[in-house]
Structure 1
Amino acid sequence: MNIKKHIPNFITCLNLASGCLGIAFATSNHLVWAAYMIGIAAVFDFLDGMFARLLNVRSEIGKQLDSLCDMVSFGVLPGFILFGILKLGIDPRIEFREFIPYVAFLIPIFSALRLAKFNIDERQTDSFIGLPTPANAILIGALPLIINIQIKSDPTLYHALLNALLNTNFLIVLTFVMSYLLIAEIPLFSMKVKSLKFKGNEYRYILIFIAILLSIFLKFIAIPLIIIFYIILSIINNLQKK
């Protein structure tokens, strides 16, 4: 029995386990722990591909398993997190307000479309078309961390930000925007590098520098800003290539 070929798939299943735990936390209203599970799942998602390349054991079943696990960890889980946040911030004056949080489940639907498209799109071997599901999930996962950890550390300083993040209209718009970005025909560069040289990796290094800088000064608030900069730098990169 060749154990080596099963190592990447085992790591992929740890991604799935993290997603399942995250959903359990989210449905129990432990949104911070649910957000941490997205981060842990993202680490396993990175490691399974890395080990598959290092061990030279990439397979079709591994590719399909990866997408199925990503659907849970980066599709269903962020949907439940957004559902929980929408319930927290619902405006009592809004009619039919009990139905509004269900808008969050557009995220799993469009994540499924994104993953299905990725599996059959031959253009996405070295780059992405549309926002990758892990990036989308990490942005949504940052919201409970910002609300429950960073803002609570200094409510006076972050009062306006708290009102914005719990605003029903903002959250609905965010849901639609993120759903669109998942399937948008926007080329985005991959963080996978063929060499460590600066030439050819300029925008990757710029993004890493921005990410480090923002993380130092803004902590969890940096996460959505990093995703926004990733999209902007990708658009600039595409314009330069034309």
Structure 2
Amino acid sequence: MRKHIANCFTLLNLVFGSLAVIQILQGLPGLSAGSSAEETVARMCVASLFICLAAVVDFLDGLIARLLSATSEMGKQLDSLADLVSFGVAPGLILYEFLLISYTGTGGSNSAINYWYLLPALLVPLAGAYRLARFNLGTSFSTEFEGLPIPAGGILIAAFPLIYINTELSGMQELLKAPYFWYAVVAVVSFLMISTLPMMSLKFKNLSFVQNWPKFLLIILAIILGLWLHWLAVPLVFLVYIVLSVMMLRKP
């Protein structure tokens, strides 16, 4: 019974990820479903919020499983399947839509577009699937990851529609309409996921500040930057996470 409690949270992760996919593709009933660039980005913003909710329950399912001593192989596999949808497929569709906007000026279909230009967006879910499969072959609890965790990459990508809508920085929307920016995002996120670079896990074995100070530092910076910069803080926190991970966990 205890195992099913954690699994219910995992399935809720999948629900939010599926809702994000539906919202990106056509819009949920009663929500924006237009095809102009602004309507498409507004639709993606709702999807981004679903991805954020998926991240919250993804954190909770692991926490609950550990607190209840209810970890299981089924839960591990189920978690990876849900993560692939919420943090791989849904963010990949966000990248696809932004590339479509970059080349056509709208989020709708356009017969003039060469769809080969859009296919790199699929590299993120592909790299995420590889990353999750490799994770499932490893230990279930570790103080570090091998390669970027797929939720981190998914949250980074999910932040961009919200940055686009809410930014007041001059030139930010133009940057987010540039195809080469998105190719760079695809390349960086995909490479980090399939790499063997050590990445910090936010799982706590204890609350010792001495042993966990990089994690506490990251959390404090995330709170401060979030209050100050709002969604624009996400790429900065992502960068800090990568730098801290490589600096603190690199092999001698």
TM-score between the two structures when normalised by the length of structure 2 = 0.87
CA distance in 2, matches of 1:65, 1:187: 24
1:187 matched to 2:201? The reply is no
Number of aligned positions between the proteins: 231
Structure 2 equivalent of residue 178 of structure 1: 189
For 2:153, which of 126, 129, 136 is the aligned residue? 136
The answer to whether the 8 A contact 2:142-2:201 is kept is: no
Give the unaligned 5+ runs of structure 1: none
For 2:88, which of 75, 89, 105 is the aligned residue? 75
After superposition, the C-alpha distances for 1:131-187 in whole angstroms (9 at most, x for unaligned) are 100000000000000002x12xx3xxx231221121111111211111111111110
After superposition, the C-alpha distances for 1:163-212 in whole angstroms (9 at most, x for unaligned) are 11211111112111111111111101111112222101111111112112
Measured after TM superposition, the shift of residue 124 of structure 1 is: 6.7
Letter in 2 for 1:135: A
1:49-88 correspondence to structure 2 within 5 Å: 49-88=62-101
After superposition, the C-alpha distances for 1:18-77 in whole angstroms (9 at most, x for unaligned) are 000000011124100110011000111111111111111111111111111111111111
Structure 2 equivalent of residue 163 of structure 1: 174
The answer to whether the 8 A contact 1:131-1:181 is kept is: yes
User: Are residues 183 and 123 of structure 1, via their aligned partners in 2, closer, same or farther at CA, if it must alter by over 3 Å?
Assistant: farther
CA distance in 1, matches of 2:131, 2:64: 24
Structure 2 equivalent of residue 5 of structure 1: 3
User: Are residues 24 and 123 of structure 1, via their aligned partners in 2, closer, same or farther at CA, if it must alter by over 3 Å?
Assistant: closer
CA distance in 2, matches of 1:231, 1:111: 17
Structure 2 equivalent of residue 118 of structure 1: 135
After superposition, the C-alpha distances for 1:112-140 in whole angstroms (9 at most, x for unaligned) are 00000111134973210111000000000
The answer to whether the 8 A contact 1:110-1:179 is kept is: yes
CA distance in 1, matches of 2:59, 2:219: 16
Measured after TM superposition, the shift of residue 102 of structure 1 is: 2.4
Measured after TM superposition, the shift of residue 101 of structure 1 is: 2.1
For 1:25, which of 11, 19, 23 is the aligned residue? 23
User: Are residues 165 and 213 of structure 1, via their aligned partners in 2, closer, same or farther at CA, if it must alter by over 3 Å?
Assistant: same
TM-score between the two structures when normalised by the length of structure 1 = 0.90
Give the unaligned 5+ runs of structure 2: 27-39, 106-111
For 1:220, which of 231, 236, 243 is the aligned residue? 231
For 2:122, which of 105, 111, 128 is the aligned residue? 105
The answer to whether the 8 A contact 2:2-2:68 is kept is: yes
What's the Cα RMSD here? 1.8
Q: 1:128 is paired with a residue of what secondary structure?
A: strand
User: Are residues 170 and 91 of structure 1, via their aligned partners in 2, closer, same or farther at CA, if it must alter by over 3 Å?
Assistant: farther
CA distance in 1, matches of 2:207, 2:64: 19
The answer to whether the 8 A contact 1:91-1:97 is kept is: no
The answer to whether the 8 A contact 2:222-2:233 is kept is: yes
Q: 1:188 is paired with a residue of what secondary structure?
A: strand
The answer to whether the 8 A contact 2:7-2:75 is kept is: yes
**Identity value in percent:** 40
Structure 1 equivalent of residue 248 of structure 2: 237
Letter in 2 for 1:210: L
Letter in 1 for 2:221: I
Q: Deviating runs (4+, > 4 A) in structure 1?
A: none
The answer to whether the 8 A contact 1:90-1:97 is kept is: no
Measured after TM superposition, the shift of residue 109 of structure 1 is: 0.6
